[in-house]
Structure 1
Amino acid sequence: MPDTHGARVIGVDGLQGLIEALAGRGYRVIGPRLRDGAIVYDDVAAVDDLPAGWTDEQDGGHYRVRRRDDAALFGYAVGPHSWKRYLHPPDLTLWRASHGPDGLRFEDAAASVERLAFIGVRACELHAIRIQDRVLLGGAHADPNYRQRREGIFVVAVNCGTAGGTCFCASMGTGPAVTEGFDLALTEIMDGGGHRFVVETGTPDGDAVLGTLPHHDADDADVTAAHAVVERTAGAMGRSMPDTDVPALLMRNLEHPRWDDVAERCLTCGNCTMVCPTCFCTTVEDTTDLAGDTAVRTRHWDSCFTMDFSYLHGGSVRQSGRSRYRQWMTHKLSTWVAQFGTSGCVGCGRCITWCPVGIDITEEVRAIQASDAGEEAP
């Protein structure tokens, strides 16, 4: 449940003021927008840019936006974008080298970054950011480009009021209520009391910004309504991860026949890794101009579903679709725990929704669990 002790309330005008206040502080404000038949993250300059009155319909291999019967601004689950695309971008120029009259000159092309403010960050996405923090900032070799983008972001989180058909954050312990990692957290309420947002502060910066907005203290009715939003969402999850020791289950079933079954359906397209908010694999590409005067090194997202990703001298280590899917799923749910101390899955459901053939990671775990226990697979 959200911690609404000491919460305050703003209206839609207060949300507009929040966007303006963040822009006035030099942030590039990013939030949800309706574009190309999906709710995506992009630049936001006003409340009118938000997807008012729109929601999403999600199932395995299925995504549609449709109209709601109200004007909710955050009445959807999650779309194909995650905040990863701003903190760990899909394409990043690392350096550029040029040859001129004064000799060879190197330029760190990734040195300058914008200050970012995210509006509409869900609980599962906050957990995903924290996981990427551990992967890309933890240990002796932190990613300096990620650090530059991560430092100083302003996070306006939203407690989920709508569960998607592929959401399973409740069973992963990652939502739907936001608990930490935010500057401000909103719970959108639409009832007889009007369209308003119960606001929690998570940092002094968040409190300072909220203090500049028109607001009032939350009363008991506001607090009760905010808790009801989260409770309703938690009870409406479209999926759930089986309640078992998933890492151990997968490790003792590496040769399970279910891997062959999923390989017959999997297209090894890599969609699941592209939409996943925690996948972090990359490759680098070096290019030169035709004159040979300039060379550029660029980093791109990569996927363990590609043949080249595991290529060593003589060929790919994981040549079959079976081995590549098994690598992805066992890393995400099992060996990630050994590496980083947490699961690599936050239950957002994107990998299910955006899989062209609707492969469901929770269903695959459940099938292996059933046969492991001597039961008939679902």
Structure 2
Amino acid sequence: MQATLADTVKLIDRAGLAVLLSALQARGYETIGPVRRDGAIVYDRIDEVSELPAGWTDRQAPGSYRLERRDDDALFGYAVGPQSWKRYLFTPQQTLFSVARQPDGGLAFTPAALAAPKRAFIGVRACELAAIGIQDRVFRDGEHVDAAYGARRDAVLLVAVNCAVAADTCFCSSMGTGPAVSSGHDLALTELIDAAGHHFAIEAGSAIGTQLLADLPGRAASADDLAAIHAVPQRTAASISRSLDAGGVPALLMRNLEHPRWQEVADRCLSCANCTLACPTCFCSTNEEVTDLAGAAHQERRWDSCFNVEFSHLGHGSVRGSVKSRYRQWLTHKLATWHDQFGESGCVGCGRCISWCPVGIDITEEVAAIASDDRGATA
């Protein structure tokens, strides 16, 4: 946020945040935000500000995630949890169509109704906005449109939050996706806790965001406020220790497809698919037919993973029978050939794949290991 935004940035307190939730609900939005449940911060329906994870933060490392108490009552004082917003837009399971036999022996095919409830996502981080943008290109903005995704996405309002905390596994700053919110949002919040109290700076990023902002109680941001707002993601960026050379990685990986590091990481990898399930951009899926006792059949799409040996199964068997080949496929697609398909990286640096890997495989460490022993550079 720049000083020129002084007239469009408001400072609200916790009561003002409650007014925002009420205003969204009055417009017909189901409000979805972070809640503390089962030892993690996950996304679910919230009706009141009191349901947000006040005073909690996360401690993350390779293969490790824990919640801890903060010494204040910050509502957004954590990084990212195991879930991403993907589960609401590209749902884990979706019925595509049903078919039932008719009395005359014919078959009747019925497309599944599109369910696209109005939802407001509260607390979307910059890396998650980037991830939503990536899936928009895959499912909505390309040549082949997924109607269900498009309908859900068009019904969503995004209330973003500038990151005041970075997990040890974050590397968004090197991917150009955070920690500051810059685009793709309807409203953006910055949580400020200082001697003046507990406030939220809120800025509009769209026409509907401007309308909502105008109705919120609060005061215009001063020059000092704007400086404090700008400093929050700057401090967070300075605390991030992991990085990835986003520009150089595609060529590096593609000229090292036979590097011995692939087998080294495969010896550790459980091929469990945790990384792809936690990833906010992965979109592998499979279709299957399911029958019921009434004689109808339903074709359903569900999440799948390139780590599953069955995913690449053809008539003669799987074309990626080894863990080595499946890990290499995942990493080279995510960081290299995704550029060929969509003109950008498939990684936003959220670090979920590192935290939620049971054996702590670190994507930045693997790339660094190949870079330090670049076998293709002299080939």
With the shorter chain as reference, the TM-score category is over 0.9
Taking the TM superposition and a 5 Å limit, the aligned residue runs for 1:1-378 are: 4-6=5-7, 7-101=9-103, 104-242=107-245, 245-291=248-294, 293-372=295-374
Gaps of 5+ in 2: none
CA distance in 2 between counterparts of 1:126 and 1:168 reads 15
Closer, same or farther: CA 243–23 of 1 in aligned 2, 3 Å: closer
- For the Cα contact (< 8 Å) 2:82–2:356, is it kept in 1? yes
| Partner Cα separation in structure 1 for residue 102 and residue 29 of structure 2 | 37
Deviation at 1:373, TM superposition (A): 7.9
Counterpart-to-counterpart distance in 2, 1:67 and 1:139: 44
Distance apart, 1:127 and its partner CA:
0.4
Corresponding residue SS for 1:29: strand
SS at match of 2:190: strand
Give CA-to-partner distance per residue, 1:176-209, whole Å, 9 cap, x none.
0010111100000000111111111111100111
Percent sequence identity over aligned pairs: 59
Count of aligned pairs: 374
Q: Distance in 2 between matches of 1:120 and 1:165?
A: 20
Give me the whole-angstrom Cα distance separating, in 2, the residues matched to 1:20 and 1:86.
Answer: 21
Q: Structure 1 stretch 139-148 or stretch 246-255: which is displaced more?
A: 139-148
Which residue identity is paired with 1:162?
V
State the Cα RMSD in Å: 1.7
Corresponding residue SS for 2:129 = helix
Shift of residue 374, structure 1, vs aligned partner:
10
The one-character-per-residue Cα deviations of 1:48-90 (angstroms, maximum 9, x if unpaired) are 0100000000000000001000000000000001000000000
SS of residue matched to 2:169:
coil
5+ residue gaps, structure 1: none
Q: Is the 8 A contact 2:33 2:44 kept in 1?
A: yes
SS at match of 1:235: helix
CA separation of 1:54 and 1:2: change in aligned 2, threshold 3 A: farther
In 1: Cα distance, 2:272 partner to 2:34 partner: 26
- Whole-Å separation in 2 of the counterparts to 1:43 and 1:100: 40
Kept after mapping to 2: 8 A contact 1:164/1:238: no
CA contact (8 A) 1:2 1:177 kept: no
Partner of 1:240, secondary structure, is: coil
Alpha-carbon distance in structure 1 between the residues aligned to 2:228 and 2:31: 28
- For the 8 Å contact 1:336–1:344, the answer to whether it is kept is yes
Deviation at 1:211, TM superposition (A): 1.6
Partners of 1:49 and 1:187 lie apart in 2 by: 19
Provide, for residues 136-171 of structure 1, a one-character-per-residue CA deviation record: whole Å limited to 9, x for no partner: 123321111100101131100000000001000001
1:55/1:76 contact within 8 Å kept: yes
Contact 2:306 2:312 in 1 (8 A): yes
**Structure 2 contact 6–223 (Cα < 8 Å) conserved:** no
